[in-house]
């Protein structure tokens, strides 16, 4: 009865009442659709990292203890949202650097190339994605043996190696030992990653020449900062050689491996022993060192930032300045002893190098 009465009442409504009712319904529908769209958009802008296998800023998860004696029998790795506190010491010097500003990281890393070595594909992909934001090129290898082949192909392109410790075929310790004992690649810094935090594992890494050692789990930004610092140290080393100081840099301060130190000692001695020879050239140095021209050039350039001719010129100039300051030799004698051939050429070259003529330098040195 109520429904019949309601229908009778509605039939008597005026057109304007029907219009108002329809308008209200339309407004309610539009409001509902708008609210639904807004909620979907807001939800779409929130990162859904829970569904992803790896979060962009997720650190590496800790894994069970690994046995260095059996690299092929190690537990699987997994990721989770944990990170090492910023105050935890992790670097080789047991000091964690303060966070480097993003712009500075980009500036220092944008021209670098990093080789990531790990047998876990997810980890390689994760680090590759994270580092690619800052670094020019990221190469990957699944174990030390594969990394060795890549180094032979791209030895002049790789700036830093980031390697896991426990891997089949060749583990991280063995890879690090290979890098630090082969002059072709011994200048490349190596950062080792491991789930083991005991002192014995650290000593094993440093014994094989590791430049840094990070314990899992670690914050990826820490890895980026450590890579950045290694590259900055190399830049500072090159700046020392490029500066026109009176002494060559201390090899113990500027080299990063015994192979590099031995190479620079031999190369520097070869130049010094022939410093008075005005005909000393690249080919003579290549023959003395017993290395290929390409390897010699690339190695000296990587360690000092100078090419062979620039290095020889620096040694000549430093020796010439020492002779001038002694006050015992004429300009012609200095030119001859330093291997410049003629006093006129020596004067021109000396002024270009120091901004002073030999006479001006002598008067200033008094």
The answer to whether position 68 is within a domain reads no
Q: Do 144 and 219 have their domain in common?
A: yes
Q: Compute the chain's Rg from CA coordinates.
A: 33
- The torsion angles phi and psi of 356, rounded to 5 degrees, stand at -130, 155
Q: What is the distance between the alpha carbons of residues 144 and 163, in angstroms, rounded to a whole number?
A: 8
The answer to whether position 57 is within a domain reads no
Q: What is the mean pLDDT of residues 158-171?
A: 92
Q: Do 322 and 199 have their domain in common?
A: no
Q: What is the 3-state secondary structure (H, E, C) of 73-88?
A: CCCCCCECCCCCCCCC
pLDDT at residue 255 in the model: 59
Q: Do 207 and 144 have their domain in common?
A: yes
The answer to whether position 145 is within a domain reads yes
Q: Is residue 365 within 8 Å of residue 324, measured between CB atoms?
A: yes
Quick one: which H or E segment has residue 332? Answer: helix 331-337
Q: What is the mean pLDDT of residues 136-153?
A: 93
Q: Are strands 212-215 and 160-164 parallel, antiparallel or unpaired?
A: unpaired
Q: Lowest mean pLDDT of 34-43, 47-56, 315-324, 355-364, name the range.
A: 47-56
Among 219, 239, 259, identify where a domain stops.
239
- Which of 45-49, 54-58, 268-272 has the highest average model confidence (pLDDT)? 268-272
Q: What is the mean pLDDT of residues 157-164?
A: 93
Q: What is the mean pLDDT of residues 109-138?
A: 90
For residue 33, what are the domain limits?
2-45
Q: Lowest mean pLDDT of 55-64, 301-310, 316-325, name the range.
A: 55-64
The answer to whether position 165 is within a domain reads yes
The answer to whether position 72 is within a domain reads no
Q: Do 305 and 233 have their domain in common?
A: no
pLDDT at residue 308 in the model: 94
- β strands within 152-292, DSSP E: 160-164, 190-194, 212-215
Among 204, 239, 274, identify where a domain stops.
239
Q: Do 212 and 146 have their domain in common?
A: yes
**98 vs 356 pLDDT, higher one:** 356
Q: What is the mean pLDDT of residues 12-20?
A: 62
Q: What is the distance between the alpha carbons of residues 58 and 76, in angstroms, rounded to a whole number?
A: 17
Task: Please check the confidence at residue 136 and state whether its pLDDT lies above 70.
Answer: yes
Among 239, 259, 274, identify where a domain stops.
239
Q: Which of 139, 318, 305, 149 is nearest to 233 (CA)?
A: 305
Q: How many CB atoms are located within 10 Å of the residue 341 CB? A: 13
Helix axes 258-273, 308-326, angle to 10 degrees: 60
Q: H helices then E strands: how many in the chain? A: 16, 5
Q: What is the distance between the alpha carbons of residues 177 and 185, in angstroms, rounded to a whole number?
A: 11
pLDDT at residue 14 in the model: 58
Q: What is the distance between the alpha carbons of residues 16 and 21, in angstroms, rounded to a whole number?
A: 9
Q: Do 123 and 186 have their domain in common?
A: yes
Q: Lowest mean pLDDT of 23-27, 159-163, 200-204, 252-256, name the range.
A: 252-256
pLDDT at residue 54 in the model: 35
Q: Do 235 and 284 have their domain in common?
A: no
pLDDT at residue 85 in the model: 34
pLDDT at residue 62 in the model: 34
Q: Do 32 and 129 have their domain in common?
A: no
Q: Which of 5, 230, 12, 217 is nearest to 109 (CA)?
A: 230
- The domain spanning residue 158 has which CATH number? 3.40.50.2300
Task: Please check the confidence at residue 122 and state whether its pLDDT lies above 60.
Answer: yes
**151 vs 217 pLDDT, higher one:** 151
**116 vs 233 pLDDT, higher one:** 116
The answer to whether position 157 is within a domain reads yes
The answer to whether position 56 is within a domain reads no
Q: Do 222 and 270 have their domain in common?
A: no
Q: Do 301 and 177 have their domain in common?
A: no
Q: What is the per-residue DSSP string for 108-154?
A: HHTT-EEEEE-S-HHHHHHHHHHHHTT-SEEEEESSHHHHHHHHHHH
**DSSP bridge partners of 33:** none
Residue for token pair 């950045």: 228
Say how many domains are in the chain. Answer: 3
pLDDT at residue 356 in the model: 93
Q: Is residue 201 within 8 Å of residue 68, measured between CB atoms?
A: yes
Task: Please provide the average confidence, as pLDDT, over all residues in the chain.
Answer: 76
Q: Do 126 and 218 have their domain in common?
A: yes
Residue for token pair 């990957």: 140
Q: Is the pTM of this model over 0.85?
A: no
Q: Do 208 and 278 have their domain in common?
A: no
Q: Is residue 83 within 8 Å of residue 217, measured between CB atoms?
A: yes
- The domain spanning residue 268 has which CATH number? 1.10.10.60
pLDDT at residue 253 in the model: 65
Q: What is the mean pLDDT of residues 6-27?
A: 64
- The torsion angles phi and psi of 8, rounded to 5 degrees, stand at -65, -40
Q: Is residue 137 within 8 Å of residue 145, measured between CB atoms?
A: no
Q: Lowest mean pLDDT of 145-154, 217-226, 309-318, name the range.
A: 217-226
Res. 362 pLDDT band, cuts 50 70 90 = very high
Q: Is residue 354 within 8 Å of residue 244, measured between CB atoms?
A: yes
With a CB cutoff of 8 Å and minimum separation 6, the contacts of 244 are 314, 317, 353, 354
The answer to whether position 61 is within a domain reads no
């Amino acid at each position: 009865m109520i429904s019949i009465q309601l229908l009778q009442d509605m039939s008597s409504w005026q057109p304007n009442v029907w219009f108002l009712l329809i308008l209200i319904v339309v407004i309610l529908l539009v409001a509902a659709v708008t609210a639904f769209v807004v909620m979907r958009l807001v939800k779409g802008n929130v990162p859904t990292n829970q569904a992803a296998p790896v979060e962009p800023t997720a650190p590496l998860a800790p894994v069970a203890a690994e046995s260095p004696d059996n690299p092929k029998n190690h537990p699987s790795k997994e990721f989770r949202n944990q990170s090492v506190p910023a105050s935890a010491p992790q670097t080789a010097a047991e000091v964690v650097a303060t966070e480097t500003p993003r712009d500075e990281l980009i500036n220092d890393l944008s021209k670098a190339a990093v080789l990531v070595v790990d047998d876990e594909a997810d980890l390689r992909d994760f680090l590759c994605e994270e580092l690619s934001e800052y670094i020019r090129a990221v190469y990957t290898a699944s174990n030390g043996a594969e990394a060795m082949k890549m180094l032979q192909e791209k030895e002049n392109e790789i700036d830093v190696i980031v390697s896991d410790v426990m891997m089949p075929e060749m583990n991280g310790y063995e890879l690090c030992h290979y890098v630090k004992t082969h002059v072709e690649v011994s200048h490349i810094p190596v950062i080792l990653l491991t789930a083991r935090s005991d002192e014995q594992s650290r000593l094993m890494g440093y014994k094989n020449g590791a430049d840094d050692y990070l314990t899992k789990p670690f914050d990826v930004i820490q890895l980026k900062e450590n890579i950045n610092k290694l590259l900055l140290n190399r830049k500072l080393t090159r700046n020392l050689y490029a500066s026109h100081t009176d002494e060559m840099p201390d090899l113990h301060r500027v080299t990063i491996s015994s192979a590099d130190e031995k190479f620079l000692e031999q190369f520097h001695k070869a130049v010094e022993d022939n410093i008075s020879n005005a005909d000393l050239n690249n080919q003579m140095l290549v023959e003395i060192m017993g290395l290929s021209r390409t390897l010699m050039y690339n190695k000296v350039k990587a360690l000092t930032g100078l090419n062979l001719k620039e290095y020889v010129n620096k040694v000549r100039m430093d020796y010439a300045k020492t002779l001038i300051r002694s006050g015992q030799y004429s300009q012609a004698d200095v030119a001859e002893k330093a291997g410049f051939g003629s006093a006129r050429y020596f004067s021109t070259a000396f002024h270009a190098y120091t901004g002073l003529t030999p006479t001006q330098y002598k008067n200033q040195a008094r």
